[in-house]
Amino acid sequence: MKSIRRNGGISVVARKETAGVKIVRQLRLEILFGIIPPGQILSQEELCLRFETSRMPVRDALLQLAHEGFLERLSGHRLRVVKLERVDFLDMIWIESTVHALATKRATERHRSAVDGFGELLIVQASMREAFEEGELTKAAELKGVFHRTVNRMAESPKLISTLRNVTLGIQYDFMADVPDWLSRSVREQDEIIRVMISGDAELAGRLMYEHLQASALTIANTLIGPEEVGLSVSAPGVEAALGAVKGEPFKSSWVG
């Protein structure tokens, strides 16, 4: 989904996905859930028949999954599903969360003296809250993706947006509709992120976004791979530097309650 301006207002409309993107999303979920087991070699021909499409979208999808670390290249242009360890998954989400946090920080700095610059984000968030309250969980989950893309555009940084396109897995949005409690928490946390962004506190806004996405990652990891015996913190080595936090100050969760 995406948001567009119409007659001075903003409407949220469905975002069209290419065949390749749809195939990536479907195969990614099947790999994560173990429907496609580790070690299986994926056949372009079989996937073309399954998805009723040409070789180009299938090839692009497989290359994207290889880029994301879900497939490994073998001789003869073959691609094999890799075994996904918990730490591998958390590493991927750590990268994504860190770049999203930087984009949030930059967006806050860009619009620090322009409250009206948050109008589109506020409308997207209100639409997500309304969809959740009306029980339209799939729509609310899709609007969560719109929320993050809107924040990223507000950063006005082509470099960050390009990086996010390459590292964003989008897994959270696939799961969100099936976990109402998680979706409810996301609405509350995004309300707080917006409040802090409008206040102009770029450091805290970035930190909250990082923690928000990391908490989602841990929920997914526990669901797909199982909980670790020793719980993992939502912080990660080097995040203080990545977010530009004050040196020497330990990383602490910024959420209250």
Q: Express each pLDDT in 119-139 by its tens digit.
A: 999 999 999 999 999 999 989
| pLDDT, tens digit (0-9, with 9 covering 90-100), for 2-26 | 444 444 444 444 456 788 888 998 8
Contacts of 172 (CB under 8 A, 6+ apart): 144, 213, 216, 217, 220
Least confident range of 130-134, 141-145, 146-150, 223-227: 223-227
Encode pLDDT of 45-84 as tens digits. Answer: 999 999 999 999 999 999 989 988 899 999 888 999 998 7
Would you call 175 helix, strand, or coil by DSSP? helix
Average pLDDT (141-147) is: 91
Q: What is the pLDDT of residue 3?
A: 47
pLDDT at 171 over 90: no
Mean pLDDT, all residues of the chain = 80
Closest CA to 99 of 37, 167, 175, 45: 167
Q: Is residue 156 very low, low, confident or very high in pLDDT (cuts 50, 70, 90)? A: very high
Taken in order of first residue, the domains within the chain and their CATH numbers are 19-81 (1.10.10.10), 86-243 (1.20.120.530)
Over residues 75-101, the pLDDT tens digits come to: 888 999 998 777 777 788 888 899 999
Confidence of residue 146 (pLDDT cuts 50, 70, 90): very high
pLDDT band at 235 (very low <50, low <70, confident <90, very high): very low
Q: Under DSSP, is residue 237 helix (H, G, I), strand (E, B) or coil?
A: coil
Amino acid at 59: R
State if pTM tops 0.75. Answer: no
Cα atoms in the 13 Å half-sphere on the side-chain side of 199: 12
